[in-house]
Amino acid sequence: MMDLKIYGIDMWPDQKIQAFRSALLDWYDREKRDLPWRENTDPYRIWVSEIMLQQTRVDTVIPYFQRFLETFPTIPDLAAAEEETLLKTWEGLGYYSRVRNMQVAAQTMVEKYEGKFPETMEEIRSLKGIGPYTAGAIASIAFNLPEPAVDGNVMRVLARLFEVDLDIGNPTNRKVFQAMMEVLIDPQRPGDFNQALMDLGSDIEAPVNPRPHESPVKDFSAAYLHGTMDRYPIKAPKKKPVPIFLKAFILQNQAGDFLLEKNDHSNLLAGFWHFPLLEVEEEKELTLFEAPLEVAEESDVRSRFQADYPFEIDWQEQNFPEVKHIFSHRKWHITLEVGQVKGTPDLAEGSLWVSAQDFESYPFARPQQKIWEVFQGQQE
């Protein structure tokens, strides 16, 4: 395989590729991380771990992974899960479409594959929510198929190995790294090879404060040998998330219960329970020379709320810290409105009066957890 080029990138000859594989796998055999999903090659466990690890740190995932497997030990258990149990088990991990897609995929496996994981790349890729990276990870680790698993960690390592002048954040460039991996992957130990690159990219070759001098493959790295580590990988800065300004209404009735409503109207956090929310315009800081906000402006927000909830409310004039939460493309800025509702009025479908002691029975997304933490902090 002399003079092989992939998208203009000069690949190594066979002998060098063999040496690279040996160096990487020898290091992995000595240093691989002890992780619960590596206890065996059960494809269900590997799938759950890989989906959880998307956009989430390993140390955060471990307790979620263990709890998820305790709650849904098999594919049929996941397929048959109630929505609230499913969301409660995932509560706090974010990106909730991941677990919804997992349940759809589990239901497909029950219907088409007798509740078992399919064993070909084509069948694995056909499952809801499984993209090329996750499919490659499952195929290689569980079924020993020579399929690359190309994620950000792997692209970072490859970009430094070959000084690849392509933006790794641009999805169209993924095919280049995929093609490179198809040449480099060890056909005898594809799962270990993929995991070794993942481990290397998440630690020694991390995006921040890498330790290239400790890399087991530093002698193969063009960026290390040429002193260009600070240039690679190339990645354009992310766009700033769009700010969204919201009011959260924390209301108690005379029994001390709190008003919650279920989000059945939006793909974002659908199925979760939350304090009522109302989108508002940005609240700007005032200078010493500006007049204070008119009381009417504040009461207007409350009036808008009471158009949907026609309660008699004693509003509390209390200042709370702003709650902030960043999604992938938007940033919520939430301020709190707190009040006491007179009586125990009836509620529309999808709303409930719930005692704080019973909150653990209802799935709360992370923004709602933050709201509750801020509220409780002011009550102590």
Question: Which residues does the annotation mark as catalytic?
Answer: 50
DSSP 120: S
SS (H, E, C) 32-55: CCCCHHHCCCCHHHHHHHHHHHCC
Instruction: Please state whether the peptide bond connecting residue 233 to the residue before it is cis, i.e. omega within 30 degrees of 0.
Output: yes
Collect all residues with Cβ–Cβ distance below 8 Å to 44 and sequence separation of at least 6: 74, 75, 117
Residue 142 · residue 43 · CB < 8 Å? yes
Q: Where are the alpha helices (DSSP H) in the chain?
A: 14-31, 43-53, 58-71, 75-79, 83-90, 97-113, 121-125, 132-143, 152-162, 174-184, 190-202, 222-226, 295-308, 366-379
Q: Where are the alpha helices (DSSP H) in 72-171?
A: 75-79, 83-90, 97-113, 121-125, 132-143, 152-162
**The token pair that represents 211 in the structure block:** 């330790």
CB atoms within 10 A of CB 235: 16
DSSP 283: -
**The token pair that represents 367 in the structure block:** 């923004």
CB atoms within 10 A of CB 182: 13
Residue 143 · residue 119 · CB < 8 Å? yes
Strands, DSSP E only, in 318-367?
Answer: 323-326, 330-341, 351-354
User: In the block, which residue shows the tokens 């594919």?
Assistant: 75
CA gyration radius, the chain: 26
